[in-house]
Amino acid sequence: LAKTTQPISMDSYEGQEVNITCSHNNIATNDYITWYQQFPSQGPRFIIQGYKTKVTNEVASLFIPADRKSSTLSLPRVSLSDTAVYYCLVGPPGRRALTFGSGTRLQVQP
Amino acid sequence: ETGVTQTPRHLVMGMTNKKSLKCEQHLGHNAMYWYKQSAKKPLELMFVYNFKEQTENNSVPSRFSPECPNSSHLFLHLHTLQPEDSALYLCASSQDGGVPSYEQYFGPGTRLTVT
């Protein structure tokens, strides 16, 4: 599985756009990029998944450059409730065993 | 609510006790998982079940014993645990072949404290 690197923590203020970048230099051709969100004392929650270019849903956008060696999760206009740990995962479709790294702890201030 | 429930939500047990964690998914999924999350450590996958068959055991000590009687229920039987086993135990489920792949639904977890 491709190794991923994310910042350990980030700070933001309410209403700002937050971009969290994940590096995955050894991504394989058939790997997908998936992001999860975890609030304290809760299980992780799937946010978004993509293979290339841009994916957008009601929660976030995922930007993937052409070389796919990195990806950026974009959270528009964050609120206090977006304070959580965000995990980037990379792997082939159909693989059941998810490998979570340390994630990025996002703290949103009022 | 994710459609995955876990009981109990909190558990305190001594090292000589035997207890069980229960997980139930109401999503019609065919795969279920146990994860362990210790303080300040990443989530660790423990077991994977697909259609009631264990497909992955991530070198978990034998004091943790999983049971999957059907594709909706998953148990984790605990005996003679150590204090370092104190952690948040998370259950998840997914549908093989689902789109998008990698989408697992997690329960709220059981906070286990071993004294």
Confidence of residue A1 (pLDDT cuts 50, 70, 90): low
Task: Give percent above pLDDT 70 in chain A.
Answer: 96
Q: Which chain A positions have a beta carbon within 8 Å of B106's beta carbon?
A: 42-45
Using a 10 angstrom Cβ sphere, with 0-12 exposed, 13-18 middle and 19 or more buried, the burial of residue A84 is buried
Using CA coordinates, name the residue in chain A closest to B47. Answer: A97
The chain A residue lying nearest B30, using CA atoms, is A96
B56-82 b/e (C-beta count within 10 Å ≥ 16 → b):
eeeebeeebebebeebbebbbebeebe
pLDDT at res. B18: 94
Set of chain A residues whose Cβ sits within 8 Å of the Cβ of B93: none
Which of A43, A89, A96 is nearest residue B106 as measured by Cβ atoms?
A: A43
CB contact under 8 A, B45 and A32: no
Q: How confident is the model at residue B51 (pLDDT cuts 50, 70, 90)?
A: confident
Counting one residue from A and one from B, how many pairs have CB atoms under 8 Å apart? 68
Note the pLDDT of residue B101.
65
CA A97 to CA B111: how far, in whole Å?
A: 22
- Residue B92's pLDDT is what? 94
The percentage of residues in chain B with a pLDDT greater than 70, rounded to a whole number, is 96
Q: How many CA atoms lie within 13 A of A69 on its CB side?
A: 3
Partners of A42 on chain B (C-beta within 8 Å) are 106, 108-109
